[in-house]
Each structure stands twice: as structure tokens, then as C-alpha cells.
Amino acid sequence: MTKISPEFEDQILTEGVLSVSADVSFISNGFPKYKLGPNNQILEEPKENNDGPTLKEVVERETTHLSEQHKRLSVRDLASKFDKNLAAAAKLTEEAKLREVASLEGHVLLKKLRDALEHLRGRLAGRNKEDVEKAISMVEALAVKLTQKEGELIQEKFEVKKLASFLKQASEDAKKLVNQEKSFACAEIESARAVVQRIGEALDEQDTTSEASKKQDVEELVEVVQEARRIKLMHQPSKVMDMEHELRALRTQIREKCIFSVKLQKELAMSKWAEENKSCLYLIDGSETLGAYLRIQPRSENAPQLSKCAIQWYRVSSDGSRNEAISGANKSIYAPEPFDVGRILQADIISNDQRVTVTTACPIDPAAGLGSYVDTLLRKSNTEFNVVISKVNGQDHPSHSVHAFHVGKMRMKLSRGWITKSREIYSSSMQLCGVRGDITNAAKAMYWQARKGLSFVLTFETERERNAAIILARKYALDCNVMLAGPDDRV
């Protein structure tokens, strides 16, 4: 700042300057240190904070720590913690009130200081007047900053009130929990006391009984004591958990009994069917389950050889009134596909104008776990299976390399690496079913006609993947208003 000459200093002393009110109090012994930055911006010099963390930080840290450990603290300790934090919040509220009073006094002081500088600016000229104007701008900037501090103080006060309200409610809840736990403990103590009283009465009666029955009665009393202790130590959640375990075990037993009952009924039906078809020349051998394959076997040496007979497989309707021929299923081996689940299969063997009909003893059962496996695959937008091409357009495929078969929501694709063998959207010309010819691993093979003039026989790694691919493709095609089935199938 410009140095003031002695004459000017004497002039200032002689002139009257507005005095600051004596009733203004200060929180600290000195003003904060400020300096002017660019554009007359007030910059506050950093001050060393030798004090510890503020009371608000301590309350927040304690609240966080309490929330993390509330599962390991007792209800009484929890209530005590909330009471302590509530007292700290009240103390913080009082501190906020003091800051509010100090802020009001600061506004009064800055206003009087600015009035004094304004009065002084009117009496000065030249370089000294510029210094006074700078001082006035600093005072105005300090007033703006003080207003900002007031806004922060109001926000802090609101947060403190909110925190105090929360802690007060939590303290009341904790006290309610303490009273509730106390009532529960009193009830348990009374129950245990009644049990002990009954035991004492039983012991008094035991003294009058004979020595022979004394041992048995003591054992019963020990069991009663153990049961009483178990009831006393056992909490309500553990009771519910034990009941759930017992219910789960009962459900498991009922499910096992049902499976065993169904198995017995199926064996009984197969035995009855075998008795009724003793005189038949042929029978269908194999597990009547999706994922297996069925084979026609001769039962008599007089039965004609199957290689010289004409064979046709049928699906029988649920009421047995209609037979649906399975196109292409004219071999002694047939692997059921998802369309066959719940249906009885029938095979006609024709030799020398004689027709012999054999049927499965029971409807085809679904594969275990196939439904949940398909539900898992339906959550994906695209499912990929590893397959081997067995035939292309009815001709054997010499290469046995592994290809990728993609089943998507809009199309299917067969590829090997970057080479795409076929990629077609679902259309009415597309066909899909289980293989119906005489092929190795028929239960793993699938027939796919991508379009007219292009068909494949694909062999999957497992029977479950083959059936899942058929179900997925038919589900996605049905969403596109396309029904996928085998050649000449009536669906």
C-alpha cells in the first residue's frame, strides 16, 4: 500500500472517523488473513488446523461404525450408543447456534467498516483514494464470502437437525427393543422357573417311590430338564428354521414315494402288457424315455426276419382313436423326439401280407432335467452346439470335423470357423426333427432341412443337447409364426 506522509497522517487524526460500536464481540482474537487475487477476488490464506476432527465428523464416524457393528452389539449397547450420539448431535446444534450469532455480528462489523471506508474515501484523493477503494472492494468480497459461509452454515444446521431427528428416533426404537427383549427374557425366566418347580415337585414325589422305578423316573426327569433347557435357549428364528428343514425332508420323502409309486405302476403296466402280448411275434425293446432309442426284437424263432419285412412307426393319440404315421420311420430302430413325449408309439411289421402290430407299454417319458436345461438356454439370445455332419442331402459326409450349430431367435446357422455352410431364417420350407433312418447314435442325431434342396443330418455330443436344440428351434420358430416339424408331419 502507498506510504502516507506525516502531514496526511496528522490530517487523518484531526478529522472525525466513524467509530465502531463497542457492543460488537469477536469469536477470535484477530481477523482471518486474506489477500486479493485476480479480478479483486478474495483469497483466504490456508490456516493450520491443529485441532482434532470436528464434532460433526466424530458423530458421522461413530454412526457409521455403529451401523457396521449393529449385528454384533447387544440391544442395550445399541441404545447406549444412540443416546451418546443424540447428546453429541444436541451439542453440535448448540455450536451451530453460536456460529449463527457470530455470523450476524460479522455482518454488522463489515457494514460499519464499509461505512467508515466510504466516509474516508470522500475525504481522500489520488493514490490514497484508490487504496481505500481496494479496501472497500475487499470488504464487499468478504461480505459475499460471509454470506456464502452463512448458506453453508444453514445447510449444515439442516443436516444436523436431520441427524438429530434420526438418532432420536433410533434411540426410541432401541429403547423399545430393550423393553421387548426384557419382556421376552422375563417370560423365558418364568417358564424356566415353572419347569424347575415342576421338577422339584417330581423329585419330592420320587422320594416316596420304590428303588426299582426310581432310575426310570430320573431318566425321564433328565429328559424333561434337557427339553426345558433346549426350549429356553432356542430362539424363534431357529424354531422356524427347524420346521422348514422338517418340511423339506417330508417333501423329499413324499417326492421319492411318488417316484417309486410311478415306477411301480409303470412296471405293473409293462408286466400286464407283456402277459397280454405273450403270443406276439415281436416286441419293442428299450427305455421308453426321451433320449433313449427303441428297437423291434423278434420273440420267436418262427418270426420272419426284420430285414425282409416292411416297418412303419406311428404315434398313437392320447385317446387311442387315431394313429399318426411318422414319415421316414421305417426301420427297426427309432429314437423318440420331443413330439413323442406323452404319446404311445406303435410299429406295424408287414410280411407276406401279414400285419403284426406292437406298441410301447407306456407313453414316452420326458428326459430328467431337460426342462430346466432348456429354461437356462432360453435366457440367452443365441445358443451354440458342437455337431458333426453325418449326411448332406441324403449322402454320407466323408469329413467328421466338428461344426458349430447356432440356434437363434430369428435364424439358425451351421458353420465351421469362418466358413458358413448354411444360414437361414425360420420359414415354412424349413424342417426339423429327430433322425428317422437307420443311423449310428440315432438318439443323438437330428434331421434339418435348411431350405428346399439342402438338408443335413447332424450328430450332437449328447442326447440332451439334441433334444434341447429341437425344443429351442421349435420355440423360436413358433415365435416367428413358423411350425417346425419333420417331413409330412401333421401338427
Joined together, the cell numbers standing for residue 85 give 450420539
Q: Residue 382 has which C-alpha cell? A: 443365441
Closest-CA residue to 458 (of 482, 483, 432): 432
**All three cell numbers of 299:** 420273440
404 DSSP β-pair partners: 386, 415
Burial 8-39 (b: 16+ CB within 10 A, else e): eeeeeeeeeeeeeeeeeeeeeeeeeeeeeeee
In the numeric block, which cell numbers belong to residue 167? 438418532
Torsion sign, CA atoms 303, 308, 313, 319 = negative
Total residue count of the chain as it appears in this document: 491
pLDDT for 377 equals: 92
Cell 465502531 sits on residue: 20
Distance CA 272, CA 278 (A): 10
Q: What is the DSSP string of 137-168?
A: HHHHHHHHHHHHHHHHHHHHHHHHHHHHHHHH
pTM: 0.47
- Name the residue among 359, 347, 343, 357 with its Cα closest to residue 274: 359
Please check whether residue 109 is in contact with residue 20, taking contact to mean a CB–CB distance below 8 angstroms. yes
In whole angstroms, give the CA distance from residue 446 to residue 181: 66
d(Cα 35, Cα 214) in Å, to the nearest integer? 98
Number of Cβ atoms within 10 Å of the Cβ of 132: 19
Q: What residue has cell string 405302476? A: 265
Q: Per-residue confidence of the chain (491 residues) as pLDDT tens digits?
A: 444 444 444 444 444 444 444 444 444 444 455 555 666 565 655 555 555 666 667 667 777 776 666 555 455 565 666 667 667 767 776 776 666 666 666 767 777 777 777 776 666 666 677 777 777 778 777 777 878 777 777 887 787 777 777 777 777 777 787 788 778 878 877 877 777 778 778 777 777 766 667 677 778 878 887 777 666 666 555 666 666 777 788 888 887 777 777 667 766 766 665 555 555 778 888 888 898 889 888 877 777 888 888 888 999 877 777 788 888 888 888 999 998 898 889 999 888 878 888 888 888 889 888 999 999 999 988 899 999 999 999 888 888 889 999 999 999 999 998 999 999 999 999 999 999 877 778 899 999 999 999 999 999 999 999 999 999 999 999 999 999 998 888 76
Nearest-angstrom CA–CA distance, 328 and 448: 14
